[in-house]
Amino acid sequence: MPFIPTTKEEALRRGWRELDVIFVTGDAYIDHPAFGVPLLARWLESRGFRVGIIAQPDWRSREPFMALGRPRLFFAVSAGAMDSMVAHYTPLKKLRHDDAYTPGGRHGSRPNRATIIYTSRLKEAFKDVPVVIGGIEASLRRFAHYDYWEDKVRRSILFDSKADLLVFGMGERPILELAERLRRGDSMAQLADIRGIAYAMRGDVPSGAVELPSCDMVMNDPHRYAEAFRLVSQDMHPDSGKPLVQRHGDRLLVCNPPSAPLSEAELDAVYALPFVRAPHPSYVESIPAYEQIKSSITTHRGCFGGCAFCAITHHQGRFIQSRSERSVVEEVGRMVKMPWFRGSISDVGGPTANMYGLRCGSADGGSRCRRESCLFPSVCRHLVTQDRRASSLLKRVRAMHGVKHVAVSSGIRYDLLERQPEYFGELLAHHVGGLLKVAPEHIADAVTDLMRKPGREAFERFLARFGQESARLGRKQYVVPYLMSGHPGCTLDHMVELAIFLKRHNIRVDQVQDFTPTPGTLATCMYHTGIDPFTKRQVYVARSDREKRLQKSLLLWHQPAERRNVYDALRMCGREESAVELLGKFRGQPESRPVPRDRKRRS
């Protein structure tokens, strides 16, 4: 049985009458290293633990949670690869109709607030078995946090779920130490020194810990919420961070410093585990998320960009953890032998593709650094941006037997590309299928400063260089920018500026992202409080659905269906003079254009 057991029968085929750890996840079980629960399950399995997975159980009763019986050590619960509320609702709080992590893409296979619901059912079924929660939902909700869908501050998910422990960030180190210590007889109360966990206690604040404003304080005072966010961001460092404590009534939430990043050898060992790279055979329908990533290769973890709206830094950390070239090549070699592989690799990258192999060049390796971003407001002088390692990897993978095409579809930091001429050349010559996706998000400096993104000048330099290099190669290639509306600090005037920029650069986008305040990010803190927690300055926030809709429409200025909204937006901010440039002739109604004669004949 090559898969992790999902039923008692599958466990018995391995000779396992009892399991040590049972994972419960809101995603379908896909045995692929891109999915967190299967990866951690394989990791524990490789260390001699008997592991099972309960995937997308029906939460309406406790019976599905009893499918594998009682684990000897603990249950490990994750909502899945996404926060369950983000997975279920649009930025306008409307219900989504699909779920990429479910067979057939169907919506409704996991509950809202899945971590809380799953833990409740497990406690109902097995009152005396410890439950450990983790994954991105638990990780980013570990402190008292603003919840966009209820428009209020909720307490830590550890208290709402009544779980025994919370593992945050990347879980290999803490969950392995947790399992090993429980196996040798330690009690849950003896595990409080494990890095990368949060737990509840009563009594006094532990010596040496940093006390945050209490849950009651952050619920009632935006300034104290901003203060708590700032303290969390500054003190959660894997080398020199201190435990953080937040009072919740008569109890304390204690969050230990993050676990240390994996070394290259450790990361290589994780990706060398015997993944089947396929969904469990019990599924009869395709799973959209698997189809998207099945031929992808993850080269590294972490991101030092520090974008305000992104949770990657808060979950994976800002230290880049790169695999060796040998490890990546060996994984490609295994994938080439898969019966479904036809020669195309969909991605060789990570959270940001061109950060592979990069590191801090300071004497202490960045262990005492308190910068939130290595790239903003400017590239840190200690950052080693040499691109030889990344370009060498692309060349080697491209030359492997059985590989016909290698794409790089992960995000690219174009401001970093200015320092990576070799990688930039490789990318445009061999790994862009005519379209290169980048994420400027905006071009108004007042907005990009709050986003912690490069501004207009950097994007214009990139566009010019991209055009020159594509022309030199004799290739027709285009930039597809990811853009965002509704971010804190963004006004209708800023969106008009962006729309005019797109028109003048002949850039048209068909999909744009409306800002969603997801738990744990800087942008969400600004959205809720109206305050930049680091400068303490007031930040404008577009809150009405109408303004959000108009901001989004300005990015789609070229679409006939949006013309009325675009004109209304221009009028609201006193920019009617821009209507001619954006819309051409406009008299309050979308203009009607005559149908060409040849088209009339064809119809």
The annotated binding site for [4Fe-4S] cluster is made up of: 303, 307, 310
What tokens does 402 get?
Answer: 């059985």
Backbone φ, ψ for residue 463 (5° rounding): -60, -40
249 torsion bin: left (phi>0), alpha (psi -120 to 50), beta (else): left
- Beta-carbon contacts of 453 under 8 Å, excluding residues fewer than 6 positions away, are 307, 376, 439, 440, 441, 442
What's the first-to-final CA gap in the chain, in angstroms?
59
Q: For 95, which DSSP code?
A: B
Three-class DSSP labels, 326-392: HHHHHHHHHHHCCCCCCCEECEEECCCHHHCCCEECCCCCCCCCCCCCCCCCCCCCCEECCCHHHHH
Where is 513: in which H helix or E strand? strand 513-514
Three-class DSSP labels, 202-258: CCCCCCCCEECCCHHHHHHCHHHHHHHHHHHHHHCCCCCCCCEEEEECCEEEEECCC
CA neighbor of 53 nearest in space, from 481, 61, 43: 43
Binding-site positions read: 303, 307, 310
487/484 Cα distance (integer angstroms): 7
CA neighbor of 354 nearest in space, from 302, 400, 423, 449: 423
Amino acid letter at 554? L
214/242 Cα distance (integer angstroms): 17
66/377 Cα distance (integer angstroms): 52
Strand, coil or helix: what is 398? helix
473/470 Cα distance (integer angstroms): 5
Judge contact between 500 and 582, C-beta under 8 A. Answer: yes
Judge contact between 175 and 44, C-beta under 8 A. Answer: yes
